[in-house]
Structure 1
Amino acid sequence: MTKRCCCGEGARFGVLGLVFMLAAILPVAGQVIENLDEEFQFASGLVELGFPDFADKVVQQILRLHPDQKSRAQLIQAEVLISRRKFEDAEKLVVEMGMDNTKAQAISLALARGYYSIGDTDKASKLYTEFFKRYETRMPTDPDLLRFYQDSAYQFGQMLEMAGQTEDAIKAYGRILTTKPDKQTQRRILAKQAELYVKQAGSITDRAQQEKLLGEAKKLCDTIQWGGMDVWFGQSVITLAHMDLVKGDRAAAEKTLMGNLDIFKEIDQFLKEEGLPLSVSPMAGARFLLGELFQYQAETMEKQKRGQDEIVAMYGKSLTEFYNVFAKYGESDWGQTAGVRAGAIKSVLEDRYGRKVNVDLGQKAAAAVAGYFKLPDNLFRQKKYQAAVDEYIKTLNQFPETEVTPVALGNMMESYAELGDVLMVKTILSYTAERLAGNDTAALALLRIGKYYFDKKDEPMYMLAYNAYLEGFPKHDRAAAILFTLAGLKKQQGDEQAASQFFEQIVKNYPKDQYYPRALSQMAWGYYAATNYEKAVEGFRVFIKESQPSPGKALAQFALAESLRQLNRLNEASVEYEIVIQWLAPKNNPYGTSVADVKKNQELLEKAVFQRAYCYAKMTEPADSVADFRSRAIRGYDQFISLFADSAMAPPALSAKGTVQLEVGQHDAAMQTFDQLAAKYPNSPEGKSALFALTRSAMEIKLYDQARSAFEKMLANSKAYSADEFTRIGQLMLDAKLYPEAVKAFTHVRGSTEERALLERALFGLGSAYYAQKDYPNAVEALEEMMQRYPKSGLFYDAKFTLGRAYRETGRLDDAVKAMTDVFKFADTPVLLNQASYDLGMIQKEQGDKVAALASFLRIGLLADPENPELRPLVEKSLLESINIGMELERYDDVQDSAELYLKIFPEGEAVAMVRQVRQDARLRAAQQAAASAQPAAPAGQP
Structure 2
Amino acid sequence: MKYIILLTFSFCTFLHPQTVSDKYSSAMTAFHSGQFAEASVLFEEFFDEYKIVDETFASAKYYSAESLLKLGRKNEAAVTFAYLVDNFYWTNFRVDALYNLGLIYFNLKKYDDSRTRFKQLLNEYPESQFTGSALYWIGESYTAEGKTDEAIKFLEEAVNDKRNNRFADYSLYTLANTYEQKGDYQNAVKYYDQLLSYHPNSKLAPVAQIRIGMSYFKLKDYQSSILELNNPILKTLPEDLYSESLYLLANSYYRVQEFPNAEKTYSEIIEKFPSSKFFRSANYGLAWSMFQQKKYNEAFRVFDFLSQGADSIAEKSFYWKGECKRYLGKNSEAFEIYKSFIDRYPRSPLVQEVQYQMGVLYYTANNPDLAARYLLAANSSESFEVRAKALTMLGEIELNKKQFKSASNFFESALEVSSASEETRNRAKLGLAIAKHHLGDYKNSLKLLSEIEASDASFENQKVNFYFAENYFAEGKYKEALNRYTYAEGKDEKFNAMSVYGKAYCYFNSGDYENASAVFSEFIRKFKNDTRIDDARLRLADSYFGSKNFEAASKIYEDIFKSGARDSDNPYTRYQYAQALYKSGKTEQAIQEFNNIQLKFPNSEYAEGSLFTVGWIYFQRGSYNEAINKYREMFVKYPNSSLIPMIYYSIGDAYFNMGKYDSALVNYEKVIAQYPNSPNVFDAVTGIQYTYLAKDQIDKAVQFIDNFVNRNPNLSFSDQVFFKKGEIYYSQGDYEKSKIAFKEFIVRYTNSKLVPDAYYWLGKSAQNLNQNEEAIISFEKVFRDYRTSEFAASSVLEMGAVYRNIKDYVNALRIYDAGIKELPKSSKLPEMLFNKGLTLIEMQKIQEAYQVFDNLATTYPENIFADKARLELGLIELSASRYENADMYLSYLGKARTDDIGAKAQYYYGLSLFEQKKYNDAITALLRVRNFFSRYEEWVTRSFLLLGDCYVKINDKRSAEEMYRAVLAKYAGTSFGKEAQEKLRKLR
Q: The TM-score by the shorter chain falls in which range?
A: 0.3 to 0.5
Rg bigger for which structure?
1
What's the TM-score once normalised by structure 1's chain length? 0.37
